[in-house]
Each structure stands twice: as structure tokens, then as C-alpha cells.
Structure 1
Amino acid sequence: MKGRIAAWAMAVLLALYLVLVADRSVRLVATGEPVAVGLGVALVILPLIAAWALLRELLFGIRTERLVKDLEAEQGLPEDELPKRPSGRPDRAAADAEFERFRAEVDASPESWRAWFRLGLAYDASGDRRRARAALRRAIELNRQAA
């Protein structure tokens, strides 16, 4: 819940930032000076890229949350029985050992969004965020195809 609030707070702050930057960029472009016009254009383009990236992340979070609810309703979420480090993160060695079970599930059923989702959770527990996100994106894609 805290993550969702933080994400929406960032979205609101980014929207406010875009409004303020748009005002400054119009003023810079209106001067007609080449350097000021270049800065004005950059002030519009860079925040738009940031807004696009934030929107992508928000949609990823919403879609992932929807899949969690679906798996939860089916009692398909794996039990979190891994030993934890003092930070609260799973013990890496235990997560790596459990990872193979989820990898085998994907190998046996590569078109199952459920298997890919559980693999994403296993990657995350093992500390591999890049592969976790890729597996979760694959789960989202397969779920959309199945719908």
C-alpha cells in the first residue's frame, strides 16, 4: 500500500513539475534567442520522457497487482516460507534453491501466465530484479492473450 501511495504521489508531483516547466519553456522559446529556444525545447522533451516512464511503471504496477489478486483468489500464490535476513529480504541461498522449482514449472508450461508470475516472484526473491520484471511482463502478456 505504501508503494502505491508513493507512486501516485510521484505522479502528482511530476504533473505539477510538467506544468511549471511548460511555463518556463514557453517563456524561453518566446525570447527567440537560439540558446534559450534550445533550452525551452529540452525543458519540454525531457519531462515528457519522464512522464512516459512513470506512466509505464504505474501501468506495470496496476497490471501486476491485478495478477496477484487473481492468483490469490485461486490460492495460487506460493507460500513465503523463506528465511529472512535482518533487512526483511529473503535469504539469497534459500531463494536460489527454491528458484529451480519455479523454473521447472515454466519449462513444463511455457504458456502459463501463472507459472511465469511465480517465476518472477522467485527471481525477485533471488535478488534478480531485471529478470523478475521480465518474467512479470511475460505473465502480463500471457494473461492478456488468454483474456
Structure 2
Amino acid sequence: MTAIRRRWLPRLGAMALTGLLGLYVALVASRAVALMRTGEPVGVALGVAFLVLPVIAIWFVVREWRLAVAGQRMADELAGQGELQVDDLPRSPSGRIDRAAARVAFEDVRREAEANRGDWAAWYRLAFAYDAAGDRKRAREALRRAAGLHRAG
């Protein structure tokens, strides 16, 4: 697979899924408005309740896209400086990262981030160390912190 295809295929998939979610949100919102226009108390209550769901969905999608764009900007900046970390962790034949090795490597990265709390690059590396170690929740938190520091700096 070419480098261009590897770079754009996931983006196109994410854009397609976002488009489908947008269509779903529009349909739910139109039904919610139709329910509210009935004037019946139950219809209005259901319409308002159904209108809240699209608003929440839009908020989550915007939040995730902003994080994805920020993550790509940070990666591009680090790559431009020659500081983008290479994933050289051992893998199983199926391609899964060896979790024990990831945990060992994680400790060094965690210490670096704790020592440099205001360094977005350290938090960016910590996010990917968390991900390699299998802790996706903390990985996203660290990436959000890196993005916040990157925007502020």
C-alpha cells in the first residue's frame, strides 16, 4: 500500500462515517421537530428529548475531529523536527504490541512527561505510550493535554 493511500484511507473512512452520522442526526432532528409541531404535550416532550440526542452527537463528533486534527498537527511538527518517535516495540506474529515491553518502555516516557509538565511533545509521546500499553482512556487524556499545551504554546 502506498504512503498516500495509507495516510488518506483512514481519513476517508472517518469522513464517511461522520457523513453517515450527520445524515442520521439530521433525520432524528427532523423527526424531533415534527413531534414538537404537533402541539401535544407528549409529542413536544418527546421532540425535545429527541432533539437533545443530535446535539450531544454533534458535540462528540466535533470534539473528536478537533483532537484528531490537533494530533496530526503535533505529529507533523514533531516529524518536521525529526523528533517523531518511532514505534519499535516487539510485536507478536499477528502484529499486536507485546504489552510487557510496552509497560517497560512506558515508564521512561511517563517520567519524562512528569518532569516536563508544560511540554506538549512529552505528553504527546505519553499518549502513545499509554496506547501501546493498552490504556486507551489515559491515552486520550494525555493527547488532549498535549493538544491543549500545543495550542497554548
TM-score (norm 1): 0.90
- Any conservation in 2 of the 1:7–1:58 contact (CA below 8 Å)? no
Residue 53 (structure 2) pairs with residue 26 (structure 1): no
SS in 1 for 2:86: coil
- Of 10, 13, 19 in structure 2, the residue corresponding to residue 3 of structure 1 is 10
Match of 1:117 in 2: 124
1:87 CA drift (Å) = 4.2
- Any conservation in 2 of the 1:21–1:43 contact (CA below 8 Å)? yes
6-15 vs 56-65, which moves further: 6-15
5-14 vs 128-137, which moves further: 5-14
Match of 1:59 in 2: 66
Structure 1, unmatched stretches of 5+, are none
Structure 2, unmatched stretches of 5+, are 1-7
1:33 is matched by which residue type in structure 2? E
- Any conservation in 1 of the 2:106–2:130 contact (CA below 8 Å)? yes
Deviations 1:63-122 (A, max 9, x none): 011101111111112221111134423110010011111112113322111111111111
Residue 150 (structure 2) pairs with residue 143 (structure 1): yes
1:22 CA drift (Å) = 2.6
* Percentage of matched positions with identical amino acids: 49
**Equivalences, count:** 146
Match of 2:4 in 1: none
TM-score (norm 2): 0.87
- Any conservation in 2 of the 1:116–1:136 contact (CA below 8 Å)? yes
Residue 83 (structure 2) pairs with residue 72 (structure 1): no
